[in-house]
């Protein structure tokens, strides 16, 4: 299976795991996905993440994400959306970084200074590719 959009795959696996109320979800690892996971932890959307060898002894590594739920088993993530796609990239300058739910959600932006939240990118005055939005 060829992966044209690993980030969409990452978001879909997280979304599916939440719908199925799983505690953890495993995703093929990459540096960019690690950055996404790091931001999700920083922003309080997931509990933690770690990199582990592929369980079937196959090549590559997996990122294991520990999902976060409230006492009444509601996910901390209510929505995940891929913004920039391989067929249609979305680049913005610092002034035009989209706010998610009036600032309640988080944009994840890949900038020349690394992957950061839209809030941090605005503060740093850098734009970039809007990878995804979380709320």
35-49 residue pLDDT tens: 999 999 999 999 999
How far apart (Å, rounded) are the C-alpha atoms in residues 80 and 11? 6
- Same structural domain for residues 91 and 63? no
How long, in residues, is the chain? Answer: 135
- Same structural domain for residues 84 and 114? yes
Q: What is the pLDDT of residue 123?
A: 97
**Which tokens in the block code for residue 105?**
């959600």
Q: What is the pLDDT of residue 58?
A: 79
* Model confidence pLDDT, tens digit, residues 99-118: 999 989 999 999 999 999 99
How far apart (Å, rounded) are the C-alpha atoms in residues 127 and 15? 27
List the CATH number of the domain containing 16: 3.30.1370.30
Contacts of 29 (CB under 8 A, 6+ apart): 51, 60, 61, 62, 63
Domain-located, residue 1: no
* Model confidence pLDDT, tens digit, residues 46-92: 999 999 998 777 789 999 999 999 999 999 999 999 999 999 999 99
Q: How many domains does the chain have?
A: 2
Domain-located, residue 13: yes
The b-or-e profile of 81-99 (16+ CB within 10 A means b, else e) is ebbbeeeeeeebebeebee
Contacts of 31 (CB under 8 A, 6+ apart): none
Per-residue pLDDT band at 22 (split at 50, 70, 90): very high
From 43, 67, 91, the end of a domain falls on: 67
Domain-located, residue 31: yes
Q: Has residue 1 got a pLDDT over 70?
A: no
Q: What is the pLDDT of residue 3?
A: 73
pTM, two decimals, is: 0.91
- Same structural domain for residues 85 and 116? yes
Domain-located, residue 129: yes
List the CATH number of the domain containing 95: 3.30.1490.10
Q: What residue has token string 């369980």? A: 55
Q: Check residue 67 and report its DSSP letter.
A: E
Domain-located, residue 75: no
Q: What residue has token string 């300058």? A: 93
Q: What is the pLDDT of residue 86?
A: 95
Domain-located, residue 17: yes
Per-residue pLDDT band at 95 (split at 50, 70, 90): very high
Q: Has residue 2 got a pLDDT over 80?
A: no
Domain-located, residue 20: yes
Q: Three-state SS for 125? A: coil
Note down the domain range covering 53. 6-67
């Amino acid at each position: 299976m060829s992966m044209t959009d690993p980030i969409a795959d990452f978001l879909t696996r997280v979304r599916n795991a939440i719908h199925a109320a799983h505690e953890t979800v495993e995703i093929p690892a990459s540096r960019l996905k690690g950055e996404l996971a790091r931001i999700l932890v920083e922003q309080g959307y997931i509990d933690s993440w770690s990199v582990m060898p592929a369980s079937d002894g196959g090549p590559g590594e997996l990122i294991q994400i520990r999902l976060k739920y409230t006492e009444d088993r509601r996910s901390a993530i209510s929505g995940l959306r891929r913004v920039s796609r391989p067929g249609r990239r979305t680049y913005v300058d610092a002034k035009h970084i989209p706010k998610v739910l009036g600032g309640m959600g988080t944009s994840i932006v890949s900038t020349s200074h690394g992957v950061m939240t839209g809030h941090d990118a605005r503060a740093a005055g850098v734009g970039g590719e809007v990878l995804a939005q979380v709320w």
